[in-house]
Structure 1
């Protein structure tokens, strides 16, 4: 895995480094405390997966708001998932307060299934490293951005362009 940092300090990412062309690994995350979701729940749709360490931080807040705005322009064949290790009720509270209504928030807090499968689980913090994955309707990864520094913003335009090429 590539070197990753938090404010310049090295952190360890668990799992493989995925690339465009790879089959998207399945995962199980929580919609709420009792209900789960997996990649197959979004079968046949283009998926933009926005991974954030915690919705209650500035960059994660901005990233989720930006993709919520973009979701309205991308059509019904696209789903935008924001995955973090925030507890599901914290995600729900944050979405309500922020007016987020187009992005689906999912939590990897319980088993870290997504983080381990996509190579974004931070070993030292048990949070997820900021990253973006665009997956086509056949579950093949078409675009990946692993950020080297956790506090940096992703390339929003490149991610949205990757989605637009698939719809």
Structure 2
């Protein structure tokens, strides 16, 4: 079972652990306009899937802004930031923060993404939210990069993520 930490305490992650080399499960989420969004599986573009506990926290907001900026010039990648936030709150965040290069989506309906990718936090104050994680999926649908951030309150390794996207071309 995969784990992460929240303020130093170990948190078990619930669901099917997706590993590098696995095919990325295709799941349906809800975007800020209440439209269905499918992620995972085969795609015309590389997929960058970023999971965060809540856009309403400083670290998640900073991470989302950073990825929005970094992928602006990358027409080879579709970027998705996923949380359990309600679509209405996500829409407000995106409009306030100028998030327009990525798709922000919610897994609040059935937690299908979180359990299919093994990032659902199961036993702490953040129980039921997504752990901080990043997946890079190549066009064939294979996971080529995965990072479950060791400490939920820390940001991912942006350099490694961007390098994985370049290598997935």
**Counterpart among 142, 146, 149 of residue 148 in structure 2:** 146
Q: What is aligned with 1:29? A: 29
Deviates more, 1:90-99 or 1:38-47: 38-47
- Residue 152 of structure 1: CA displacement? 1.2
- Residue 37 of structure 1: CA displacement? 1.6
Q: What is aligned with 1:13? A: 13
Whichever structure has more helix as a proportion of its residues is 1
Q: Is the contact between residue 2 and residue 12 of structure 2 (CA under 8 Å) also seen in structure 1?
A: no
Q: Deviations over 1:20-41 (max 9, x none)?
A: 1100011121124742221269
- Equivalent residues in 2 for 1:43-54 (5 A)? 43-54=43-54
- Count residues in correspondence: 166
Q: Is the contact between residue 59 and residue 153 of structure 1 (CA under 8 Å) also seen in structure 2?
A: yes
Q: What is aligned with 1:106? A: 105
Q: What is aligned with 2:66? A: 66
- Residue 9 of structure 1: CA displacement? 1.9
Q: Is the contact between residue 42 and residue 79 of structure 1 (CA under 8 Å) also seen in structure 2?
A: no
Q: Deviations over 1:119-153 (max 9, x none)?
A: 00112421000000000011100000011211111
Secondary structure of 1:127's aligned partner: coil
Q: Deviations over 1:46-99 (max 9, x none)?
A: 000111100011110111011001111212x21110000000110010000001
Secondary structure of 1:139's aligned partner: coil
Secondary structure of 1:153's aligned partner: coil
Secondary structure of 2:105's aligned partner: strand
Q: Is the contact between residue 42 and residue 141 of structure 2 (CA under 8 Å) also seen in structure 1?
A: no
Which whole-Å CA distance do the structure 2 matches of 1:3 and 1:83 have between them? 19
Secondary structure of 2:165's aligned partner: helix
Secondary structure of 2:89's aligned partner: helix
